Structure 1
């Protein structure tokens, strides 16, 4: 399923370095990535707008794209068609007429931004090694041929970020939302749009994106198209942007989008870099309570940190996805939850009416919310500051992610509401025998 991109696909990608991507001697096989983006915080308050799937994510993304006047820089692990043009296996693509009528609203919204407002769009994604089927066209081919720049990620093993930067940081979205129908319409996901008021935050996100962009490999279609086909593909007529009717789930907790002012950014960092050390600092700072709503925990060290909090008298609340896509991840997660269960941690599973509860956020002492694009997995919080490339001695699988910490009583209330609402409709986790 394209809503979650298999970890094995990541092994097709090699690690790059802090220096020399433009150097003709640059060799992915012989160089390493060294952590360079140090975490920041910001005392200047921002306006933050939390949003959640399946309630408002697609509407929020379309609004962001339509608000752009000059530029859109976009991280997405993949670009999945809503019109069945991107099968998971084999070649990808569909007919030109079907692709022009692609139902994923982000697709026409991006094209309209380019053609109607001359917005410069850059997309950073992963290379899954798929080619476009003969006599077909893929979404990325179509976007590329319409002047949208596309690059595949090369900085570390896998690009797991879900980030959109509009007008060089006038608005920035950080979320768990993948570009798939499932992620927008069937999952529980969580994200936030931040204003540009904190210049340090804007500079940080832009710097990481520019670094990854400069290291990336330029995407180009594997098919060729006739002049008549190119004329059809690049037709600049406005395309309809149709938002799907929100899925109605009886008795489900439904979120609304609120604009919250005077939000303090207590943390902003990227993985791999200093992600593990920063998360450990946060966990060690907890004094009274810790609430975690996350897709999965497969990192044994982070699992032990939760057990330690519980043994130290901290009130721990853990809500995890009722479904996990990968069997390997499911087994690792059950081992973690079993250990926590033995240590007295009550674990609740999210309602089964979500395909996946794919959000990743935690609330510290009822005072601040931390939101991540990555799970609590070894790939998202790897050990060390130097990451040898795939195949080299000591190599490790590592992902690019973003994590933001926000301090605001209103922000806490919104995220606690989601956690409590889904907790109420969930079921108690029990050991598997």
Structure 2
């Protein structure tokens, strides 16, 4: 909601955002993240607080009854006012990353005065929150996507590497996995080429046990550790740099020593003292995704998840990196399955295991090939029907990685596989899934 112009502000803010965090069992994770960020100089933490909301619906003007809406978290909106409040340049460039992996996307990322510019299409990727002159953004993307330019030079010219590694380290250690291509902001001051990552939307952090208890498979497999960011052009190129990996490692170790179990336990106790009377009362208790017993287990386990995520980070560099499976094709009675080559940080040999099955549990297997060297196999074309192809990469040290692709059911994600249909006549159609 927004306060009318000329009617004053509430804590220097006109735009008041209240988040319910319906799917988050603790209801304090987003505030916890911003409170932690306040102690990290390389990041910017927005102002936030808990709110007990009462609403009087006056669409019926005679109504003067306030209804209890329960617990909300108020988070400062990242806009020009917020930039000024935090000592940043309110005239700078500011984009909310909605769905953007730093590819150039020349058909979409255009100057606003280009005859083919489509703002709605542009903002599907990057929501414009500052000036609409995209010259600086395009210059950075051109350099980043130019493989002839060394990534260390690109990072030195267009990014604050310290901010970048600390932002990434924070997401990795807190397990805030849904940040590969969204849920953050890009900011650049007016008279500078430098871009900064600003944090946004953290209610998915430190949820490993909660997801396990609710029986939903998510934020697992390649989504743990550095591999989670391998599909993003910026981080894919940056992680190939030894100097960037060294800086990231130092940032991870620094934040690991800051986000201790003792610190997190103290914070959780404080949040519980403030929020539990609302969390376990109506209306919140009516839609809480965890039971009271589960709530206790999760609260007790959260502080140790930092160390678990640290181990996942270390482990991720021992594994091959994830990759995409292509859409299978049928030609002359043969099914051709291919995929992108995986990458190994130590240049270890990689072999692939390919399985074709009629079910996502990979139980009814039609074809299997192991110890495959090149990223392609062929087999006899199967009959018409639904099929699942799963591809895994294993390096010479025995570490295995799933493909990026996954299939979603009511139980969550099934990693490393692509679903497709063979139609009568041999045409192959991919099963597409758009995640909300």
TM-score (ref. length: structure 1): 0.22
Larger radius of gyration: 2
TM-score (ref. length: structure 2): 0.22
